[in-house]
Each structure stands twice: as C-alpha cells, then as structure tokens.
Amino acid sequence: MTVALRKKVLNFLNEYGPKVCVLATVSPEGAPHCAVMGYALGDDYPLILNTHRQTRKWRHLTKHGSVALTVGFDYFSLYLQLEGTARLVEQGPEHRRYEEIYFREHPDALEYRGIPETGTILIEPKWARLYDLSAKPSRFEEGSTAK
C-alpha cells in the first residue's frame, strides 16, 4: 500500500465513529462466521478487539488466523474493507497494555475489563480498500498493507 493510502486508512479508522466493525473468520471446517465488534487502534497499527475466549470467533482464530473486516455501514459514504492476520493474546503485560487501549476507546464495555476469560485479538492488516460511494462516479483505492 502506498504511504498515502496507509495514511487515509489510519485516518478513516481513527475518525470513524462509533468504532465498530464486522469481523469475519473461518472455522477449521471452512464455515464462515461474522460478528459485530468494537475496535481500537494501537500505536503500532494493529486493530485491537476484545472478546470472551469461548466465542466462535476466538475458537476459529486459534486454528486459522486469517480475517476480513468491514468498517462503515452507510451505503452512500466512505467505507473500508480490510484483510489481515489475527494474533491472540490471552494474558500478561501485552494483554493488559492492549486491553487498556481498547477500554479507553470503549468505556461502555468496562465491565469486561480484567475478566480472566477474555482475550485480545490483534489484527495486522495485509490489504485494504477504501470505497467511496458518495462520489459520482464512485471511487475506490486498494492495495497491500505489507510493510
């Protein structure tokens, strides 16, 4: 991805509100699954999600780390599609650091903070598409996010 596209993606993720996405995973058997989730951005550009470790998405990600997600739910405006790799963090200082960032962005979910059954999902984007349906004609930019 060009530096300009990467900056546009980061700006969109930072400015979009509420900070929710649809996360898609795949089971070990190949069955798709998606869930609406809150997200936050880390300083080093992973997307940070928090979930209970007994969820389908968590179980899927323990076997298959590829994910896709969408941010933006108004058909006639800008939205983002991402594909990437998820890494699961269950405990320790790294989990607490990312949990702090996540709950600062989502204070409405503080009741889940520090619960031993929760874990952090870190998503490193590999590909992105920004799609602007408000433009006539519609426009999009897409590319790899590999460093």
pLDDT tens-digit map of 103-146:
999 999 988 888 889 999 999 999 999 999 888 898 999 998 76
> What topology is assigned to 3-144 in CATH?
Pnp Oxidase; Chain A (2.30.110)
pLDDT tens-digit map of 19-59:
999 999 999 999 999 999 999 998 777 899 999 999 999 99
CA–CA gap between residue 29 and residue 72 (Å, rounded)? 29
Q: What is the pLDDT of residue 29?
A: 94
The CA R_g of the chain, rounded to the nearest whole Å, is 15
3-state DSSP assignment of residue 29: coil
- CA-angle at 23, arms to 43 and 97, nearest 5°: 30
Q: What is the pTM of this model?
A: 0.92
User: Where exactly are the structural domains of the chain?
Assistant: 3-144
CA–CA gap between residue 11 and residue 45 (Å, rounded)? 11
